[in-house]
């Protein structure tokens, strides 16, 4: 069985791909950064609650956008499983072409899963993580470019943290765009505001590439925003981690 790990700035997402059965997935906070020993202790007890027998894991792939965690996670997993997990990044060979020497592994994995999936034509991948990213890729696997904006929780935390009178809110759609109480006003800004950005960016990217792209969303809040717009064609919270799996299979 293959274990794939996507180390993000907020969460480390784990997924175990089983042959016939459903994929099992869970997350562990990335922060505070833990030592290798702490990670080893934490990881040692993480399989059982999910009904996984750790000894059945024969392959491990790690993708990371947090350099401070990459090697510690690799070493902790190596101590548990007795073999070296493969670390992949933007330079790991694949049919996806890009010219960036900075592209985060999650963005590269998003491109690979979009190109390797059954989607047709040009694609946009929107990742609702710590950062909100858009990636455009054409039918030949050429990455057209990326957009990086503050993630929704990141923006909300900053807004609440920098103000005296604004409270934490739940990210749900308010009754109307114009609100009459603080909570509804903020929900409008966060939900309709970001939705407007997302729809507007999709339109702009489509215009720039001269085609109506197929739009895939992933990341923590994809499941909240995708149902609110018909411009997102599908939401798959495992999209990034499926890209890591494909990268592993192409390079093992």
Ligand X SMILES: CC(C)(CO)[C@@H](O)C(=O)NCCC(=O)O
Ligand Y SMILES: Nc1ncnc2c1ncn2[C@@H]1O[C@H](COP(=O)(O)OP(=O)(O)OP(=O)(O)O)[C@@H](O)[C@H]1O
Q: Is the Cβ of residue 103 or residue 169 nearer to ligand X in the bound state?
A: 103
Q: Which stretch binds ligand X (CB under 6 A): 10-18, 123-131, 180-188, 203-211?
A: 123-131
Footprint (CB under 6 A) of ligand X, residues 138-177: 148
Sheet holding 86-88, edge to edge: 24-29, 11-17, 2-7, 59-64, 86-88
Among candidate residues 106, 127, 235, 236, the one labeled active-site is 106
Of 104, 32, 45, nearest to 72 by C-alpha is 32
* Residue 68 lies near ligand X (rule: CB under 6 A): no
Tokens of 99: 């010219």
* Residue 154 lies near ligand Y (rule: CB under 6 A): no
* Residue 11 lies near ligand Y (rule: CB under 6 A): yes
C-alpha to C-alpha distance for 134 and 216, rounded to whole angstroms: 10
203 is a catalytic site residue? no
C-alpha to C-alpha distance for 127 and 167, rounded to whole angstroms: 26
| Shortest Å, Cβ 151 to ligand Y | 7
Which of 103, 219, 236, 238 lies at the binding interface for ligand Y (CB under 6 A)?
Answer: 219
Strand partners, 36: none
Chosen from ligand Y, ligand X, none, partner binding at 107 (C-beta under 5 to 8 Å by type): ligand X
Q: Which stretch binds ligand Y (CB under 6 A): 53-61, 81-89, 128-136, 180-188?
A: 128-136
* Residue 129 lies near ligand X (rule: CB under 6 A): yes
| Shortest Å, Cβ 12 to ligand Y | 8
Q: Using CA atoms in the order 166, 170, 175, 179, what is the torsion angle rounded to 10 degrees?
A: 0
* Residue 103 lies near ligand X (rule: CB under 6 A): yes
CB 62 within 8 A of CB 85: yes
* Residue 153 lies near ligand Y (rule: CB under 6 A): yes
* Residue 9 lies near ligand Y (rule: CB under 6 A): yes
* Residue 229: how many other CB atoms lie within 10 Å: 14
Chosen from ligand Y, ligand X, none, partner binding at 113 (C-beta under 5 to 8 Å by type): none
Strand partners, 234: 216
Q: Which stretch binds ligand Y (CB under 6 A): 4-12, 51-59, 133-141, 197-205?
A: 4-12
Residues that bind ligand X in the complex, under the rule CB under 6 A: 8-9, 65, 102-104, 106-107, 129-131, 133, 148
Which residues of this protein are in contact with ligand Y, per CB under 6 A? 8-11, 13, 27, 128-130, 153, 171, 219-221, 224
Catalytic residues: 106
């Amino acid at each position: 069985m293959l274990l794939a790990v996507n180390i993000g700035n907020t969460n480390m997402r784990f997924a175990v791909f089983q042959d016939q059965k459903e994929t099992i997935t869970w997350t562990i906070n990335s922060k505070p950064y833990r030592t290798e020993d702490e990670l080893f202790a934490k990881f040692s007890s993480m399989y059982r609650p999910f009904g996984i027998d750790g000894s059945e894991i024969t392959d491990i792939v790690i993708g990371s956008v947090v350099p401070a965690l990459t090697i510690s996670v690799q070493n902790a997993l190596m101590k548990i499983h007795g073999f070296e997990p493969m670390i992949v990044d933007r330079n790991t060979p694949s049919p996806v072409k890009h010219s960036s020497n900075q592209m985060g592994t999650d963005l590269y994995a998003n491109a690979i899963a979009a190109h390797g999936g059954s989607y047709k034509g040009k694609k946009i991948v929107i990742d609702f993580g710590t950062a909100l990213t858009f990636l455009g890729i054409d039918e030949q696997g050429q990455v057209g470019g990326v957009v990086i904006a503050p993630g929704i929780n990141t923006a909300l935390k900053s807004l609440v943290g920098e103000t005296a009178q604004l409270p934490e809110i739940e990210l749900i759609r308010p009754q109307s765009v114009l609100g009459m109480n603080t909570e509804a006003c903020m929900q409008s800004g966060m939900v309709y505001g970001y939705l407007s950005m997302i729809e507007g960016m999709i339109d702009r990217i489509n215009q720039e590439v001269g085609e109506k792209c197929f739009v895939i969303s992933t990341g923590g809040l994809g499941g909240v925003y995708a149902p609110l717009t018909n411009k997102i064609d599908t939401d798959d919270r495992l999209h990034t981690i499926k890209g890591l799996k494909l990268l592993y299979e192409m390079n093992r």
